[in-house]
């Protein structure tokens, strides 16, 4: 399908919502029930949930654009922070989950390729705020205002895009590693121990299989953030259908599969290197050259549940992230100047006290 055709189709389609059969309100996906739920009359509705998703081979996609678009979704752009948000409803006013502003406008952009799999949220926003509060409590230098004002208004459920890659790798390698030894040299007054390194060259073949190397496809929610709130059990996801999105936001991917695969290869390479070196007893690596071939590379495009929190404090916005399946939380908090100030002051007072005692001890 050409871009133009896709665009025409976009203009002709309605966004995908599910109306409550009881009262006509829009139903939302409820993480606790894992069903659609009407907040007005409390009726629920099941939808088909499949678990056997297909993993695609990599040459099925790289250089190809036959993947069909999600026609029911609308893409919004935040002019404040650049985030692109995907919604199933054509809402007139939305708040950006990343920067908390409402400088968010509807665009004509396409929602892009349809995800292969989705990991549904497993708990609702109230629970997410609890997880965030527990995390904030342990942030000693965070200002009290941060800990006390965290509320559901600061937190949005956002499905964030990622790719998983499988690969069967075979590598050949050669290199030089060394082991430290000590010996005693000299005699009499000059007797001393010195350290020396015994080098050896290594070479061989090494095979390693990778399953679901998880790489973020969104620059705002980057790899280090994803790693901090991982793991995600990506093999237990569901086949994507739009119903899971109802009542939630999506974060539009802004990295393509080629660059994600490049990043996956970096992750894979460092694991291979560790795997090779683990076979040896060594203290230092002089060099190691590894050349790797990938076979049977499979990927899937998954949506991960992340509660994105934003907290504006003194003209800056601080983001934190809650894993929507496990509750694991990570983020930045503002730092209270006074907490740091008094801690340093207290530390200096203790040091001063010790110095005074030593001084008094010395003159008496
Ligand atoms: Zn209803
Ligand atoms: Zn924004």
Q: Quick one: which of 284, 325, 292 has its CA closest to 307?
A: 325
| pLDDT tens per residue across span 14-50 | 567 899 999 999 999 999 999 999 999 999 999 999 9
Predicted TM-score (pTM) of this structure: 0.82
Interval between CA 172 and ligand 1 midpoint (Å): 62
| pLDDT at residue 20 in the model | 94
Looking at the predicted structure, is the pLDDT value of residue 357 above 70? Answer: yes
C-alpha distances (whole Å) from 71 to each of 67, 85, 196, 208 are: 12, 15, 66, 39
CA atoms within 13 A on the CB side of 208: 19
Looking at the predicted structure, is the pLDDT value of residue 11 above 70? Answer: no
Interval between CA 157 and ligand 1 midpoint (Å): 22
Mean pLDDT, to the nearest integer, of 207-227? 95
| pLDDT tens per residue across span 128-137 | 999 999 998 8
Q: Across the strands, what pairs with 206?
A: 171
Interval between CA 160 and ligand 2 midpoint (Å): 15
Question: In this structure, are residues 29 and 243 in contact, taking their beta carbons and an 8 Å threshold?
Answer: yes
Surrounding residues of ion ligand 1, Cβ less than 5 A: 20, 22-23, 25, 38, 40-41
Question: In this structure, are residues 201 and 339 in contact, taking their beta carbons and an 8 Å threshold?
Answer: no
Average pLDDT value for the chain: 88
Spatial separation of the C-alpha atoms in residues 124 and 55, rounded to whole Å: 29
| pLDDT at residue 79 in the model | 94
Percent of all residues in the chain with a pLDDT value above 70, rounded to a whole number: 92
């Amino acid at each position: 399908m050409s871009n133009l055709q896709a665009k025409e189709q976009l203009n002709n389609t309605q966004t995908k919502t599910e109306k409550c059969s009881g009262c006509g309100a829009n139903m939302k996906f409820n993480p606790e029930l894992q069903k659609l739920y009407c907040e007005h009359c409390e009726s629920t509705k099941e939808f088909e949930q499949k678990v056997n998703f297909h993993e695609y081979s990599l040459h099925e996609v790289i250089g190809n654009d036959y993947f069909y678009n999600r026609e029911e979704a609308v893409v919004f752009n935040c002019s404040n922070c650049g985030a692109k948000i995907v919604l199933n409803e054509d809402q007139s006013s939305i708040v950006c989950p990343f920067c908390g502003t409402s400088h968010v406008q509807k665009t004509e952009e396409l929602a892009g390729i349809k995800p292969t799999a989705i990991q549904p949220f497993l708990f609702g926003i109230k629970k997410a705020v609890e997880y965030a509060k527990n995390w904030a409590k342990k942030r000693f230098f965070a200002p009290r205002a941060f800990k006390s004002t965290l509320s559901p208004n600061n937190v949005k459920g956002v499905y964030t895009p990622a790719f998983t890659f499988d690969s069967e790798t075979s590598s050949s390698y050669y290199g030089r590693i060394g082991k430290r030894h000590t010996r005693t040299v000299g005699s009499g007054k000059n007797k001393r121990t010195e350290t020396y390194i015994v080098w050896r060259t290594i070479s061989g073949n090494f095979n390693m299989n990778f399953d679901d190397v998880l790489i973020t496809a969104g620059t705002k929610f980057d790899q280090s953030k994803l790693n901090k709130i991982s793991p995600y059990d990506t093999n237990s996801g569901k086949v994507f259908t739009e119903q899971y999105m109802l009542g939630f936001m999506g974060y539009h991917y802004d990295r393509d599969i080629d660059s994600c695969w490049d990043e996956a290869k970096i992750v894979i390479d460092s694991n291979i290197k560790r795997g090779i070196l683990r076979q040896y007893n060594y203290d230092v690596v002089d060099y190691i050259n590894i050349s790797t071939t990938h076979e049977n590379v499979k990927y899937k495009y998954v949506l991960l549940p992340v509660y994105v929190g934003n907290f504006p404090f003194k003209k800056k916005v601080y983001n934190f992230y809650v894993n929507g399946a496990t509750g694991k939380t990570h983020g930045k908090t503002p730092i209270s100047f006074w907490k740091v100030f008094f801690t340093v002051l207290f530390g200096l007072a203790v040091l001063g006290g010790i110095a005074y005692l030593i001084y008094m001890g010395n003159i008496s």
